[in-house]
């Protein structure tokens, strides 16, 4: 189910890649549970510290982040990106929320249009809600208060 969500999000955003990371090791690490597009052959199953990178920041803060130029953002984990064989230029990321806070992160890399507006972030949050449903099997909290 997570793979289908990643594949659909990639098509909707016209992105080079989409990844869904899930918290493991009591929230100390994020594991790539689904990857669509660039890096789909090298990244699934890999883990990154939940305190690292854009995904780590989004996981810790529990709110979305849009970085249009990763070279200008110190949160970007460039070394990890290089190890996957794909270094994006832009990232749009949002938390996957459970009842007690973030349980993962969804990243959209190099989407077709730069300059993400609120509508795009809201669409990403909807995909995150679907990912939470896939993980929980029931209806978790939605950040906007809407089902």
Distance of CA 145 to the CA centre of its chain: 20
What interhelical angle do 2-13 and 118-136 show, nearest 10?
Answer: 170
- The string of pLDDT tens digits covering residues 13-42 is 999 999 999 999 899 999 999 999 998 988
Task: Give the DSSP per-residue string, 59-126.
Answer: HHHTS-EEES-GGG-TT--HHHHHHHT---S-EEEEEEEETTEEEEEEEEES-SSSS--HHHHHHHHH
Distance of CA 69 to the CA centre of its chain: 16
DSSP letter assigned to residue 139: -
In which band, very low, low, confident or very high, does the pLDDT at 138 lie, cut at 50, 70 and 90? low
Q: pTM for the complete prediction?
A: 0.89
For the cut 80, the answer to whether the pLDDT of residue 143 exceeds it is: no
- Distance separating alpha carbons of residues 46 and 133, to the nearest angstrom: 22
- Distance separating alpha carbons of residues 22 and 32, to the nearest angstrom: 7
For the cut 60, the answer to whether the pLDDT of residue 114 exceeds it is: yes
Is 25 in contact with 49 (CB distance < 8 Å)?
A: no
Return the structure tokens found at 123: 């669409």
In which band, very low, low, confident or very high, does the pLDDT at 96 lie, cut at 50, 70 and 90? very high
Q: In what order do the strands lie in the sheet with 47-49?
A: 47-49, 29-37, 17-24, 101-109, 91-98, 65-67
- The string of pLDDT tens digits covering residues 37-95 is 998 988 999 999 999 999 999 999 999 999 999 999 999 999 998 888 889 999 999 99
For the cut 90, the answer to whether the pLDDT of residue 139 exceeds it is: no
């Amino acid at each position: 189910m997570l793979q289908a969500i990643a594949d659909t999000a990639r098509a909707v955003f016209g992105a080079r890649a989409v990844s869904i990371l899930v918290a493991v090791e009591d929230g100390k690490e994020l594991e790539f549970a689904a990857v669509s597009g660039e890096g789909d052959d090298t990244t699934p199953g890999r883990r990154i510290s939940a305190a690292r990178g854009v995904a780590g920041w989004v996981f810790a803060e529990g709110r979305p982040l849009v970085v249009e130029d990763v070279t200008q953002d110190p949160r970007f984990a460039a070394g990890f990106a290089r190890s996957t064989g794909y270094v994006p230029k832009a990232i749009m990321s949002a938390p996957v929320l459970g009842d007690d806070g973030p349980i993962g992160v969804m990243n959209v890399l190099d989407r077709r249009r730069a300059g993400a507006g609120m509508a795009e972030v809201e669409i990403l949050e909807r995909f995150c809600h679907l990912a939470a449903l896939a993980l929980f099997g029931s209806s978790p909290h939605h950040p906007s208060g809407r089902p």
